[in-house]
Amino acid sequence: MIETRPIHNLALIGFMGAGKSSVGHAVADRLRFDFLDTDELIESQAGKSIAELFAEAGEPAFRERERQVVQQLSQRTRTVIATGGGLPASAQNLADLRAHSLVVYLWASPEMLWERVRFQAHRPLLHDPDPLARIRTLLTARDPFYRQADVLVNTERRAVIEVAQHVISQFRLAVSDR
Ligand code: S3P
């Protein structure tokens, strides 16, 4: 049961490779909502890629930019927000998302996440001699935050459209509940 609070948007959280962007686009298309990706917003505001930001100023500076972007979202309505994988690992960021969004955790196992991201090179945190071990460690640390979502959706062996439909029905349920 989701306590009564304003729900104007949908925030998708979860690890890298969870499908936040692909599911987010599919959900936004079907609900006729805007789609917003926090990484893209950071990149456009900084004029630099995430990889450049990590390389030049380090992870703490990137997290500070995430914090600023979350604060810019408070007036959004009818928006599907795909968050960077590490963004919800902050009680304050999570609380700010919950102030206007139904928060949905897209879950997958570490092995599946690695399968999905292994041929993509743009994520600095996975530049590691043992990326799967890195995924496991990060996931263990973040899981308590991710699990504070309103809804948990298993994406393990599901097509994007199937996950999107599930997210939409959960959203409709939550909105009609109030
Ligand atoms: C990160 C996830 C990335 C991006 C950055 C850090 C993380 O976003 O924000 O590379 O800490 O998990 P995606 O989850 O969209 O890949």
What residues contact 68, with CB distance under 8 A and at least 6 apart? Answer: none
Q: What are the DSSP E strand ranges found in the chain?
A: 9-13, 34-37, 79-82, 101-107, 151-154
Q: What is the pLDDT of residues 56-81, one digit of tens each?
A: 999 999 999 999 999 999 999 999 99
Q: What is the pLDDT of residues 5-57, one digit of tens each?
A: 899 999 999 999 999 999 999 999 999 999 999 999 999 999 999 999 999 99
pTM: 0.96
Whether the per-residue pLDDT at 99 is higher than 60: the answer is yes
78: CA distance to ligand 1 center in Å? 23
123: CA distance to ligand 1 center in Å? 7
**Best mutation site among 12, 25, 39, 68 for ligand 1 pocket (most ligand atoms within 8 Å of CB):** 39
Residues with CB under 6 A from ligand 1: 16, 20, 39, 50, 84-86, 123-125
Q: What is the pLDDT of residues 141-176, one digit of tens each?
A: 999 999 999 999 999 999 999 999 999 999 999 998
CA–CA separation, 40 and 148 (whole Å) = 24
